[in-house]
Chains A and B, each alone.
Chain A
Amino acid sequence: MNKVLFFAHLRDAVGEEFLKLDASGKSVGELKAELAAIYNLPKVDTVMTAINEEFAQDDEVIQDGDEIAFIPPVSGG
C-alpha cells in the first residue's frame, strides 16, 4: 500500500489530506495522470512529486510502502 499526500489546491480538489492506495509498479507520471483524471485535478502540469520526502521524476517507479506526495508550486518565504 502507498500513502499519497495532497497539499494546497490539490487537497481542496481531492477533499482529503491523503489517500491509501496501491500504486506499486506504477510510475510517478502514471499515478499523477490517473489521479488527475479521477479527481479532475487542476494545474497538474505544474505539480512536482516526492517519493519518501525527496523530489522524484515522472519516470520513477513507485515501490510498495513508498509515501508519495504531490507538490504544487511552492509559495513559502
Chain B
Amino acid sequence: MNFQISKEPIDIQSVIDKVVQRNAGAITTFIGTVRELTKGKKTLFLIYDAYEAMAVKKLEQIGKEIEERWEGSQVAITHRVGRLDITDIAVVIAVSTPHRADAYDANRYAIERIKEIVPIWKKEHWEDGEEWMGNQLETVAYPSGKPEESDLNE
C-alpha cells in the first residue's frame, strides 16, 4: 500500500512511516500544495480526478524505477483527488535511501515522472471560468485544440 490515491486529506507522517528502514541515512519528503497564483491568474480551487486503478499502477511503476535506479531506496507516494483549496496538499512523496544525495535525486525523479505518466488531471477554477489543465509539464491549457508555438517554447 505504498502507492495510493486518496479522497481524504493526506496524512504526511503516515507516508513517511512507510519508507522508514534501518539502512536509510536520509528520508526526503516532497509535499505538493495548491498554489493561488499562476502567471498572475488567481486560482479559487482545484478539482483533481484520476483513473484510479491505472494511476496506482503507474505510481507503483515509478516506485520500481526508483528502486532499480537508486540502490537501497524505498518509495511511498499518495496523491489526493477531489476538491482542493489553496494551500491544500495534493501529493506527498517520501523516499528513503542510504545516502542523502540519492534521496533528493530520487524524490525529484518521482514528481517529474508523475507529471508524465500518471493518469491524474486537475481542473482549475478561476473567478472567470474553469478548465481542465493539459500538458505534462504544467498548467498549459490548449483552447485552440493544440499547443501553440508559444506553449512549445516554454
Binding site for B on A (CB under 8 A): 5, 7-9, 12, 42-43, 45-46, 50, 53-55, 69, 71-77
Contact = CB atoms under 8 A, between A and B. Distances in A.
A50 B102 CA distance: 32
Given A7-B119, A45-B146, A76 B132 contact: no
Interface of B: 32, 48-51, 53-55, 57, 79, 90-91, 111, 114-123, 131-136, 138-139, 142, 145-147
A50 to B, nearest CB: 6
A75 to B, nearest CB: 4
B118 A8 contact: no
A56 to B, nearest CB: 12
A30 B123 CA distance: 28
Contacts of B53: 53
A27 to B, nearest CB: 20
A32 to B, nearest CB: 15
B51 A7 contact: yes
A42 B131 CA distance: 13
Contacts of A53: 51, 53-54, 57
Nearest to A71: B119
Nearest to B111: A77
B142 A76 contact: no
B74 to A, nearest CB: 20
Given A43-B142, A71-B119, A77 B134 contact: no
Given A69-B119, A74-B119, A76-B91, A7 B146 contact: no
Given A43-B145, A46-B142, A69-B119, A77 B114 contact: yes
Contacts of B136: 73-75
A53 B136 CA distance: 19
B92 to A, nearest CB: 11
Given A5-B51, A45-B146, A75 B121 contact: yes
Nearest to B147: A46
Contacts of B132: 8-9, 12, 72, 75
Contacts of B54: 50, 53-54, 69
